[in-house]
Structure 1
Amino acid sequence: MELTTAAPRRRNAVRDADGMAVASFILGLVGLLVFNVFLGPIAIALAAVALHRGTTRRGRAFLGLGLGAADLLVLAVFMSADHTMSWSFGS
């Protein structure tokens, strides 16, 4: 019979939360340019879960949260500018 401790599980959970924080930041950053309608909410959700799980990369999680919100703000501004459900750089 093998005994397990909570320490390895905790380390894995924190490592997973750290990965979510970094992924949130990257998706939020990429979402400013493309697919912001999808990447913005995903970045927000990943950042929230990472913060809830106690990530050690809180700064990246907060940046991901802010960038995800900025993605949705950019989408709203461009949608209101041309009155469509999408936006583009061209005319």
Structure 2
Amino acid sequence: MALTAPTTNTPSATPSATPSDARRRDADGMAVASFVLGLIGLLLFNAVFGPCAIILGALAIARQTQRRGRALLGLALGVADVILLIVLVTLDNSVFWQFG
């Protein structure tokens, strides 16, 4: 009588993610990053954060994120950052601003 190991047909504990799931998760991350960069860009480094927010927001929308509202808000904040930069350069010949 030979001893054999019992076989189990249970699925693995961690299901593998499909490439479309990973791509959607990346797009959701881009939407959040766009919003955060656009918001921070209103106060700091609008010359850098504004265009980054615009690019990330557009990429998130193009990749069909589930956080479309956040991507659109990040896109709008990025545009506001660039407009603020243009206004500051026009009025002060400077890219910096302060309260008071």
Both structures adopt the same fold (TM-score exceeding 0.5): yes
- Shift of residue 90, structure 1, vs aligned partner: 6.5
Aligned length: 84
Structure 1 or 2: more helix by fraction: 1
1:54 correspondence with 2:64: yes
Determine which structure has greater relative contact order: mean sequence separation of CA pairs < 8 Å that are 6+ residues apart, divided by chain length: 1
> What's the TM-score, normalizing by structure 1?
0.86
Residue pairs, 1:50-89, within 5 angstroms: 50-84=60-94, 86-89=95-98
CA distances 1:27-77 after superposition (whole Å, capped 9, x unpaired): 000000000000000000000111111100000000000000000011111
User: How far apart, in 2, do the equivalents of 1:24 and 1:34 lie?
Assistant: 15
Can you give the 5+ residue segments of structure 2 that lack an aligned partner in the other structure? 1-16
The Cα RMSD (Å) is 1.5
Q: Which runs of 4+ in 1 moved over 3 A?
A: none
Q: What's 1:20 paired with? A: 30
Query: In the aligned structure 2, how far is the partner of 1:26 from the partner of 1:90?
Result: 22
Q: What secondary structure, in the 3-state scheme, does the structure 2 residue paired with 1:54 have?
A: coil
Quick one: percent identity of the two aligned structures? 52
Amino acid at match of 1:21: A
Question: Which has the larger Rg?
Answer: 2
Provide the TM-score with structure 2 as the length reference: 0.79
CA distance in 2: counterparts of 1:88 and 1:48, whole angstroms: 28
Counterpart amino acid of residue 33 in structure 2: A
Gaps of 5+ in 1: 1-6
